[in-house]
Structure 1
Amino acid sequence: MERKLFIKKIALMAVLPSVFIAACSNEKKPVEGAAKEKVQTFTCPMHPQVIKNEMGTCPICGMDLVPFEKNSNDKALKVDEKRQALANITTLIIGENSFSGGKQLNGRLTVDPEQSSYISSRIAGRIERLYVRETGVKVSKGQPLYQLYSEQLATLQQEYLMAVAQQKQFQGDKIESQLVAAAKQKLLLYGQSESQVQQLLKTQKKDPFIVFYAPQSGIVAELSVTQGQYVQEGGSIIRLEGYGQLWVEADVYPNEAKNIKQGQKVKVVVAGWEDKPQEMIISFITPALQSGSQLTQIRGTIPNPSNQWQPGLQANVFLPSASQTNVLTLPVDAVIRDGKGMHVWVKSGKDNFEAKLVKTGQENDDQVEIAEGLKKGDQVVVTGAYLLYSEYILKRGKNPVEGLKLSKS
């Protein structure tokens, strides 16, 4: 009897572990069809690197954390009425209006090459004296620039004196007269003035030193020699720039250039002199794009009285355009422009805002034409659009226009 009882106990002990394991496995097995619980995370509006699994405050700045909806596919952004007031979010129902547009081009003032003078050596020799020794100096027309010592010049003077002496011996001889005229012309071509030639005849002494004078007034932009340096005939000496009138060059995209014509009048405003707009006639449109860019240039000239402007100053060129009627317009600040395209925020419900891609047309200082993407009656955010844009990126971790397509109005 005791043996049978012992065998029953052994059998029960062998079965109990398997029963216990099966029970535990049934407890851990999830119920089929039960939805997995979504974990809500929170982040700081000022420090997006702070991410927590529970509501609280930012350990850096102390601000209340906001829900982080990175995995949400909802294109709308919900902002309650109180937060709309704090963010100064205002809307406007878009409608058709008359529009007088224009295009503002970024430009700059540059030197007009026609106002520049390149001074080179008329004859080979040594720079005996340099009267102007630095760039940026203003010189006047007729001012001495440098003195040159030239043996070749002394030889030409001697030839002229000999030709004049020989002419006196053969009065009325046409050949002798021609020789004198030719010798004199050489001196004039090599930089001697008429008064210097007359002085040579008076003194009968050759002078290998010759002073060269500024052919026009201007600013010394480049100085290519030093005192005591030898120069060859035609060697560069000085470059003078005149600022009496300046070029205005402006960058233009090819699709804009087709509406611009030579001879067209435009307004130019130099930065810092907004109260002195200038009228310019477009004189040239470059036929090729600039190297490394998709831009071409337009060019014209403006007067520069008293040299009040310097080359390099920024200038805005305003292209006028014809007035239009019945076009959709918005304030310029309502349109957000980034690498993904231009978009606006449209109010789609009481507290819902949604981004929409748009295509713009002409614009002026205040308004921009909406060519595609919106329709008459849409309620568009005109102030606070950038705050909505920033909050969407912060909460969702992506650009609000990703995956959007431009809708025809």
Structure 2
Amino acid sequence: MERKIFIKNIALMALLPSTFIAACSSGKKPEAAGEAKEKTQTFTCPMHPQVIKNEMGTCPICGMDLVPFEKNSNDKALKVDEKRQALANITTLAVGDASLSVAKQLNGRLVVNPEQSSYISSRIAGRIEQLYVRETGIKVAKGQPLYKLYSEQLATLQQEYLMALAQEKQFKGDKIEQQIVASARQKLRLYGQSDSQIAQLAKTQKKDPFVLFYAPEGGVVAEVSVTQGQYVTEGSPVIRLEGYGQLWVEADVYPAEAKNVKQGQRVKVVVAGWEDQPQEMSVAFITPVLGAGSQLTQIRGSIPNPGNKWQPGMQANVFLPTGNSSKALSLPVDAVIRDGKGMHVWIKSGKDTFEPRLVKTGQESNNQVEITEGLKNGDRVVVTGAYLLYSEYVLKKGKNPAEGLKMQSN
């Protein structure tokens, strides 16, 4: 009988797990079924996430200290203490219904306004004796000498004027002689002689075949068409000046968008690099034909350029209003993280706790975006520093914050 009981006990012990037997032999209680094993803390490099170790140390690639890595954690919350929030410039905003002004962003550029250009041509045939401006890009002030011209024709006109003055002295009071003097003086004016030069000629009674031409207005030298010593004919181009006090803004528009643009419509212009100085422009012209080799037309207007701080050729964005969306939840564009997993924002759920939340967006302006799903009035959303939270989450947990998230109803 005892032999049968002994054999039965041996069979039962064979069926029990080895852990139970070891626990019994050591006097310890076996683990309860389903009890989670202690998680192993892993560490990774902030610069090289592929480096993962089970103990604290340094990165074998760059030598940086490893940081805790919660790869297997399912906790969506991210804790950032108050000091680190200040260093990362993390700020939040309680969202609420507001009017969202929507505008279409058009690619544009600054170009020279032809109305601000001056074309200087020779008023008389002769030789360029002295060229004072020889390079493009040089700023010229109004009244600055540009070139000196030698002209035999001018000397002949000066002689005619002196003879007319002599005749007038002999026949004082004669209206015909007075008309001849006035006619000779007008010819000299037409050929570039100023009143002071004509008065000096009458005083000295000496011919001067050289005439000095001055800039009619200030500007930047855009083209020099002659060289020193060159002979020119009457009307030959000499110098072209461009004024940058007013610049044209040209923007590309698709035909479907152009039908909503009206002449005189006010639009906002932002020059690249001067985003803090937006300008307002009135649409002055809409090109009636499409550009060669493209399906685009253009709209055009002008903006002031005080101090000539902008140059032609610079990029400018034109924001064309398309309508208003009233009672819409809106956020700054940078508050929404966009990647292959979808769009999400960061919600501040506690003093030092932040959580990702999926959202859907609607209309978008240059700096605001409408939130159609995922948020409700009063939610406190991170508006600056959202990308830093995104990066830290990926670094600490080794996965995208949007993984496993479900859209919440408003």
Q: TM-score if structure 1 supplies the norm length?
A: 0.56
Q: 1:399 to 1:152 in 2, by over 3 A?
A: farther
Partner SS, residue 262 of structure 1: coil
Counterpart in 2 of 1:47? 47
Whole-angstrom distance in 2 between the partners of 1:406 and 1:261: 41
Aligned counterparts, 1:37-116, within 5 A: 44-48=44-48, 51-59=51-59, 60-67=63-70, 78-80=75-77, 82-83=79-80, 97-101=97-101, 103=103, 111-116=112-117
Q: Does 1:299 align with 2:301?
A: yes
Output one character per residue of 1:254-275: Cα deviation in whole Å (capped at 9) or x when no partner.
Answer: 477665432123466887796x
Could you tell me whether the CA contact under 8 Å between 2:356 and 2:402 is conserved in 1?
no
Q: In structure 2, how many angstroms separate the alpha carbons of the residues matched to 1:262 and 1:341?
A: 43
Displacement, 1:221? 2.0
Percent identity, aligned pairs only, is 46
C-alpha displacement at 1:127, in angstroms?
Answer: 1.6
The 5 Å alignment of 1:122-141 reads 122-132=123-133, 136-141=138-143
Q: Does 1:147 align with 2:148?
A: yes
1:340-372 CA-partner distances (Å, limit 9, x unpaired)? 69722377x99995564633414475x4323x5
| Conservation of the 8 A alpha-carbon contact between 1:126 and 1:229 | yes
Instruction: Give the corresponding residue for 1:230.
Output: 230
Please tell me the residue identity of whatever aligns with 2:369: V
- 1:359 corresponds to: 361
Does the CA-based 8 Å contact 2:148-2:212 persist in structure 1? Answer: yes
What pairs up with 1:267-286 in 2 under 5 angstroms? 280-285=281-286
Return the offset for 1:335: 1.2
What secondary structure is seen at the aligned counterpart in 1 of 2:329?
Answer: strand
Contact 2:58 2:65 in 1 (8 A): yes
Contact 1:220–1:241 (Cα < 8 Å) also in 2: yes
Return 5+ residue gaps in structure 2 as ranges.
Answer: 1-39, 165-180
Residue-by-residue CA offset, 1:219-257 (whole Å, 9 max, x unaligned)? 3424626873304335442222334x4125275664776
Residue 207 of structure 1: how far off its partner (Å): 5.3
Give secondary structure in 2 for the equivalent of 1:46: coil
CA distance in 1, matches of 2:195, 2:341: 70
- Match of residue 330 from structure 1: 331
Number of paired residues? 341
* Equivalent AA in structure 1 for residue 99 of structure 2: F
Structure 1 residue 327 displacement after superposition: 1.9
SS at match of 2:67: coil
Structure 1 pair 240–364 and aligned structure 2 pair: CA distance change class (3 A)? closer
- Quick one: distance in 1 between partners of 2:207 and 2:397? 90
Paired residue type of 1:282: V
Retained in 2: the 8 A contact 1:103–1:320?
yes
Do the aligned residues in 2 keep the contact of 1:290 with 1:296 (CA within 8 Å)?
A: no
**Is 1:219 aligned to residue 209 of structure 2?**
no
Amino acid at match of 2:246: L
CA shift for structure 1 position 218: 0.5
Q: Distance in 2 between matches of 1:56 and 1:295?
A: 62
Aligned in 2, Cα 1:225/1:334: closer, same or farther, shift over 3 Å? closer
Name 2:12's counterpart in structure 1.
Answer: none
Residue 387 of structure 2 corresponds to 386
Aligned to 1:343: 343
- Give, in whole Å, the separation in 2 of the partners of 1:341 and 1:297: 38
Is residue 126–residue 150 contact of structure 1 (8 Å, CA) maintained in 2?
yes
Distance 1:107 1:294, change over 3 A: closer
The residue type equivalent to 2:388 in the other structure is: L
Indicate how the Cα distance of structure 1 residues 362 and 199 shifts in structure 2: closer, same or farther if over 3 A, else same.
same
Q: Secondary structure of the equivalent of 2:388?
A: helix
* Cα gap change, 1:353 to 1:290, in 2 (>3 Å): farther
Deviation at 1:323, TM superposition (A): 4.8
Asked if the contact 2:252–2:297 (Cα under 8 Å) also holds between the matched residues in 1, the reply is yes
3-state SS of 1:389 partner: helix
What's the counterpart of residue 242 of structure 1? Answer: 243
Cα distance, 1:310–1:378 mapped onto 2, change above 3 Å? closer
CA contact (8 A) 2:126 2:152 kept: yes
Aligned AA (2:75) = K
Counterparts of 1:159 and 1:265 in 2: how far apart (Å)?
A: 58
RMSD: 6.0
Are 1:266 and 1:280, in contact at CA under 8 Å, matched by a contact in 2?
Answer: yes
Measure the CA separation in 2 of the matches of 1:385 and 1:336: 7
Separation (CA, whole Å) in 2 of partners of 1:379 and 1:290? 50
Contact 1:251 1:297 in 2 (8 A): yes
Report the secondary structure of 2:264's partner residue: coil
Paired residues of 2:109 and 2:251 also in contact (CA < 8 A):
no
C-alpha displacement at 1:278, in angstroms?
A: 6.1
Aligned to 1:308: 307
User: Residues 30-84 of structure 1, C-alpha deviation per residue, up to 9 Å, x if partnerless?
Assistant: xxxxxxxxxx995635222551353433332223241557xxxxxx973446458
Residue 122 of structure 2 is matched in structure 1 by 121
Is 2:155–2:208's contact at 8 Å kept on the other side of the alignment? yes
